[in-house]
Structure 1
Amino acid sequence: MLHAFTAGTRGLARMGQETPMAPGSQIAHALWIDLYRPLDSQIAAVEGLGIEVPTLADMEEIEISNRLYREDGSDFMTVVVPGQTPDGRHISGPVTFILTPARLVTVRHHAPRSFETYPERADRSTAGCTSPERIFLGLIEEIVARQADLLEGIGRGLDSVSVHVLGDASPDELQHALGEVGRQGELLGRIRLALLTLERALSFYDQTLATHPQGKDLHTIIKGQIRDIGSLAVHGDFLSSRVSLSVDATLGMINLAQNTTVRIVSVVAALFMPPTLIASMYGMNFAVMPELDKPWGYPFAIGLMIASALGTWAFFKWKDWL
């Protein structure tokens, strides 16, 4: 899909439909072109403007020289941002920002939430939306704000898990809590990766502003965004320690529940040990066993086994093991 935007009376106004457009159409006047899982015809339309669109394989390269570089006066910056695939799976995927003097082009193959919310409130961002550079910084600000929201959601999720784990949770609830902590930890890892790549991209772009007419103003905005990213990174470290604590607490409660079960089984086994010993003694095939000739021999053996079991039970109660 291809989305083309220009500055509107409020936020960014969509210029075209989600259909292929020819190089001579209205996308030539767009300030922001967003390519989401683009078709070959849509890629050709953008390349007709003199912009080389990277493939997904190029975007997934982990070499920093392939993610952040300047070519023919355009800045290519690739970051990794959490989002959803068309089938609803949550992943971290690459997003490439191609910043030219005339427009911003973004290329992505998954759907970060920020790309849906930014156009309507682009004019309320710190940078505004009057130029490609400001749209780029405004979109980065929206992405960073989204990561902050996700971190707050992780905090609330861990709070809920702690309440259940430290309360009277059943084994099934503890198992569910452990899975929930794992999911929150996985999301936290994706957020921390996003913050790292965003900080790298901003630092790279900041170095290219020396000759830019608005370099001083943009540098101030970038500096503030990097400071925000640093604060979120510290918050992420705090939540990471909370995830570890929640995992330890959940596993500890599971172990306590298992120990209770094992203790009950051990006590039951201990109660049957003395009667089993007595039954084994009277089951031996010795020639002389006085009780075998007596009519009270069988009731005596049964009573002795019951008394031994009751004595063992009373001893356990006295020791407060039951």
Structure 2
Amino acid sequence: MLYAFIPGPRGLLRLEQETSISPGAELAKALWIDLYRPLDSQIAAVSALGIEVPTLADMEEIEISNRLYREEGADVMTVVLPGITPDGAQIAGPVSFILTEQRLVTVRHHAPRSFETFPERADRSAAGCKSSERIFLGLLEEIIARQADLLEAAGRALDKVSARVLSGKGLDSHQLQQALEEVGRQGELVGRVKLALLTLERALSFFDQTLAASAQGKELKPIAKSQMRDIGSLAVHGDFLSNRVQLSVDATLGMISLAQNATVRIVSVVAALFMPPTMIASVYGMNFRFMPELDWHWGYPMALGLMVASAVGTWAVFKWKNWL
């Protein structure tokens, strides 16, 4: 899909929503072109503007030289952002920003939430939305704010899990398994956000170097620096949440271990209670020729009494030792 935007009275307007522009308006009028899982015809339309659209394989390259570079007057920056695939799976996928003096082109194959919310709020960003560079910084501001929201949501989820696990209510194995799965999901989310922050910091550093030659560089440079500070603060928050994830995992595994120990202890106690009666029954089950008790009239009741008394005595000793 291809979405083209121009500045409007409030935020950004898609070209087909602007009454003064015909449905077949040229993409050259757009300040921001967003390509989402683009078709070949849409890639060709953008290429006609002199912009080379990278393939998904190019975007997935991990070399910095392939993710941050300048080509024919365009700055190409690829970051990794959390988002949703068409089938609803949560992933961290690459997003490329191609920035020229005339327009910003973004290429993505998954759906980060920020790309849906930014057009309506573009004019509220610190940079505004009157040029491609300002739209780029405004979109990054929206993305950074989204990462902050994700970290806060992960923190709240970890609070709930920790409160449930450490409540002392004796959760069963199924509930503890659910808690461990939830902690794992939040750990994956925090990891995706930390990766996004790392790549965003690299992209902003690269963009900051190009601002010196920009006509708006003096005005936009403080905004870029402010976003760098925000990313640094969020990175510290992400590290804190990673430690909390590890603490929650350890606490949950500890509770699972305690529950297993309690089960093993019960089994051990039951086995210990039956050991003396088993020994008595084994003695009188031996096939020796001379066993006087076999001829006693009260021999059978006596054997049963010994077995009961030995089991009760073992239970009393365990209770005295606080092993039960």
TM range (shorter): over 0.9
Aligned-partner Cα distance in 2 for 1:251–1:211: 55
Residue aligning to 2:6: 6
* 1:81 match: secondary structure: strand
224, 236, 244: which one pairs with 2:246?
Answer: 244
Partners of 2:81 and 2:93 within 8 A in 1: yes
- SS of match in other structure, 2:75: strand
Gap runs ≥5 in structure 1: 18-23
Give 1:16 deviation, angstroms: 3.3
Determine if contact 2:37/2:109 at 8 Å carries over to the other structure: yes
Separation in structure 2 between the aligned mates of residue 91 and residue 150 of structure 1, nearest angstrom: 13
2:152 paired with 1:152: yes
Q: What pairs up with 1:229-268 in 2 under 5 angstroms?
A: 229-268=231-270
* One-letter amino acid of the counterpart of residue 304, structure 1: L
User: Within the alignment, does 1:95 sit opposite 2:83 as a pair?
Assistant: no
Post-superposition shift, 1:316? Answer: 1.2
Query: Deviation at 1:254?
Result: 0.5
Distance in structure 2 (CA, Å) of the matches to 1:320 and 1:104: 72
* Residue in structure 2 matched with residue 191 of structure 1 by the alignment: 193
Given that residues 104 and 136 in structure 1 are in contact (C-alpha distance below 8 angstroms), is that contact kept between their aligned partners in structure 2?
yes
In the other structure, the counterpart of 1:20 is none
Task: Give the 3-state SS of the residue equivalent to 2:81 in structure 1.
Answer: strand
Task: Give the count of matched residue pairs.
Answer: 316
Mapped partners of 1:104, 1:214: distance in 2: 15
- CA shift for structure 1 position 217: 1.2
Give secondary structure in 2 for the equivalent of 1:16. Answer: helix
Alignment of 1:33-48 (within 5 A): 33-48=33-48
| 1:143 counterpart residue number | 143
Q: TM-score, normalised by structure 1?
A: 0.97
Tell me how far apart the structure 1 counterparts of residues 16 and 38 of structure 2 sit (CA, whole Å): 14
Contact 1:3 1:16 in 2 (8 A): no
Q: Quick check: 1:83–1:112 contact (8 Å CA) kept in 2?
A: yes
Amino acid at match of 2:208: D
Task: State the alpha-carbon separation in 1 of the partners of residues 154 and 219 from structure 2.
Answer: 34
TM-score normalised by L of structure 2: 0.96
Could you report, residue by residue, the CA deviation over 1:31-77 in whole angstroms, capped at 9, with x for unpaired residues?
Answer: 00000000110000000111000000000011100000001111000
Contact 2:15 2:25 in 1 (8 A): no
Give unpaired runs (5+ residues) of structure 2.
Answer: 18-23
Task: Output the CA distance in 2 between the equivalents of 1:320 and 1:261.
Answer: 16
Moved more, 184-193 or 169-178: 169-178
Give the Cα–Cα distance (whole angstroms) in 2 for the partners of residues 27 and 121 of structure 1: 22
Equivalent residue of 1:129, what SS?
coil
Q: What is the CA–CA distance in structure 1 between the aligned matches of 2:49 and 2:26, rounded to whole Å?
A: 11
Give the ranges of 4+ consecutive aligned residues of structure 1 lying more than 2 Å apart after TM superposition. none
**Could you give the per-residue CA deviations for residues 163-202 of structure 1, whole angstroms, max 9, x where no partner exists?**
1101212221111000000000001100000000000000
Aligned to 1:119: 119
Give me the whole-angstrom Cα distance separating, in 1, the residues matched to 2:213 and 2:282: 97
CA distance in 1, matches of 2:251, 2:121: 42
Q: What are the superposed Cα offsets for residues 225-282 of structure 1, whole Å, 9 maximum, x if unpaired? A: 0000000000001000000000000000000011111110000000000000001111
Aligned residue for 2:162, secondary structure, equals helix
Q: Distance in 2 between matches of 1:235 and 1:26?
A: 44
Q: For 2:35, what is the secondary structure of its paired residue?
A: strand
Quick one: distance in 2 between partners of 1:284 and 1:172?
A: 47
Q: Percent identity?
A: 77
State the secondary structure of the residue aligned to 1:4.
strand
> SS state of the match for residue 3, structure 1?
strand
**CA-atom RMSD, angstroms?**
0.9
Match of 1:218 in 2: 220
CA distance in 2, matches of 1:267, 1:218: 73
Is the 1:15–1:26 contact (alpha carbons within 8 Å) kept by the matching residues of 2?
Answer: no
